[in-house]
């Protein structure tokens, strides 16, 4: 059976929309938690793709989170092997860092938490609709790596999506979140609400009700295209 490796960095209260969809399509999901001491699995002929998910860790603090170095090396190996690789939020930042880009806090201390418009580049129109509203929850962002193609920009953090080569994609936003996961974030990230760039709980709730179904639909179609069955 074809396998998708999912590298996690926190314990979600719910299975995310991407994992659910890939399971429905018949993929085996192999999850691992390097932050809990679990090893990174080998990539083999049945590996159909890799997803590196988000989390509370900071790429700019590798001394505190040393396992992220191992993940970056793993990302480099996956890219060299041409395995479809998707990074979401922290995962996208790790891809960017492995490619030599800068990952750090917003220079004015802004934080993204809520639903924001995505500004799709000309190259991004092949992957993203023009008027997609996306969920973000991040205090750090990435610069665009040399050789990467920008697919979308944003108002709080400028770089929101890029691809590198034919098999690597990085997203700063979150298309995988369920209502239960957003509830978890609103509890765990409550201290960020009110910082420049963030939305109130009421704005986040309205955003989920208004925009999240379309974001989920886009993500499912993206996964169908990006991770192909052999």
CATH number of domain containing 75: 3.40.50.880
Count of the separate structural domains present in the chain: 1
114, pLDDT greater than 70? yes
For the four alpha carbons of 35, 173, 143 and 110, in that order, the dihedral sign comes to: negative
pLDDT per position as a tens digit, 130-187: 999 999 999 999 999 999 999 999 999 999 999 999 999 999 999 999 999 999 999 9
pLDDT per position as a tens digit, 18-40: 999 999 999 999 999 999 999 99
**Closest of 161, 88, 157 to residue 120, by C-alpha:** 161
Q: 64 vs 35, 60, 138, CA distance in Å?
A: 11, 9, 18
Domain containing 176 equals 3-226
Active site positions, annotated: 89, 174, 176
- The H or E element containing residue 180 is helix 179-188
């Amino acid at each position: 059976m074809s396998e998708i490796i999912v590298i996690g960095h926190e314990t979600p209260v719910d299975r995310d929309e991407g994992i659910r969809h890939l399971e429905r399509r018949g993929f085996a999901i192999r999850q691992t938690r390097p932050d809990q001491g679990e090893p990174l699995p080998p990539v083999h002929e049945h590996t159909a793709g890799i997803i590196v998910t988000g989390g509370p860790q900071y790429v700019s603090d590798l001394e505190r989170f040393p396992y992220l170095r191992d993940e970056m090396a793993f990302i480099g190996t996956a890219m060299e092997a041409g395995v479809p690789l998707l990074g979401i939020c922290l995962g996208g930042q790790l891809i960017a860092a492995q490619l030599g880009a800068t990952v750090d806090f917003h220079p004015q201390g802004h934080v993204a938490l809520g639903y924001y418009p995505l500004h799709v580049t000309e190259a991004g129109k092949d992957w993203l609709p023009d008027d997609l509203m996306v969920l973000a929850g991040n205090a750090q962002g990435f610069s665009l790596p040399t050789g990467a193609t920008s697919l979308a920009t944003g108002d709080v953090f400028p770089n929101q999506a890029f691809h590198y080569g034919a098999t690597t994609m990085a997203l700063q936003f979150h298309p995988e979140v369920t209502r239960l996961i957003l509830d978890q974030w609103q509890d765990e990230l409550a201290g960020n609400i009110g910082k420049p760039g963030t939305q109130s709980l009421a704005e986040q709730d309205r955003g989920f009700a208004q925009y999240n179904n379309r974001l989920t639909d886009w993500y499912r179609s993206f996964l169908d295209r990006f991770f192909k069955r052999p």
